Structure 1
Amino acid sequence: MTDTVLPDRLSTNPKSPFYDEALLQKGIGIKFDGEEKTNVEEYCISEGWIRVAVGKTVDRKGNPLTIKLKGKVEPYLQK
């Protein structure tokens, strides 16, 4: 089995330069401060933050409103 190195930064938004569809298709899980998070829009390991959606609220362009949370980020490939 070959280990896939996960990028330092990854986004689920196709308009982002950090979007990687092939990697997202494999399934990425995020542990944030030891807790499993399922609503992560973007993460950065080196800077220690995740961006999560705030409920179902959207901006005027239809994008979800997000907040940035700081802490320990641990991405992994889901099986």
Structure 2
Amino acid sequence: MSTELPDRLSSDPRSPHFNGELLGRGIGIRFNGQEKTNVEEYCVSEGWIRVPAGPAKDRFGNPMTIKLKGTVEPYLKEA
């Protein structure tokens, strides 16, 4: 498997941008220079991440998320 990370990745298995094998290897996200550990989805080209909005859930039991815009830098975590 190559070490090139996709432009967009989601942790939701229902998303077309989900990649379980890559997520299993461990992905880290730097957002505006700070390490983020609670990212649900990211897009490098559009410059945004989705993070949970506290303990709130939608009507299907999924976490409510907010979109934050800024500089997104994904990387593979060391094994």
TM (norm. structure 2) is: 0.95
Counterparts of residues 26-45 of structure 1 (less than 5 Å) = 26-45=25-44
Residue 55 of structure 1 and its aligned partner are, at CA, apart by 1.2
Residues in 2 aligned to 1:12 and 1:3: alpha-carbon distance in whole angstroms: 19
RMSD of aligned alpha carbons: 1.1
Cα gap change, 1:8 to 1:59, in 2 (>3 Å): same
TM (norm. structure 1) is: 0.95
Identity %: 65
Counterparts of residues 35-74 of structure 1 (less than 5 Å) = 35-74=34-73
**Structure 2 unmatched runs, 5+:** none
Report the 3-state secondary structure (helix = DSSP H, G, I; strand = E; otherwise coil) of the residue aligned with 1:40: coil
Runs of at least 4 residues off by over 4 Å:
none
Per-residue deviation, residues 21-50 of structure 1 (Å, max 9, x unmatched): 000000000000000001100000000000
Residue 57 of structure 1 and its aligned partner are, at CA, apart by 1.1
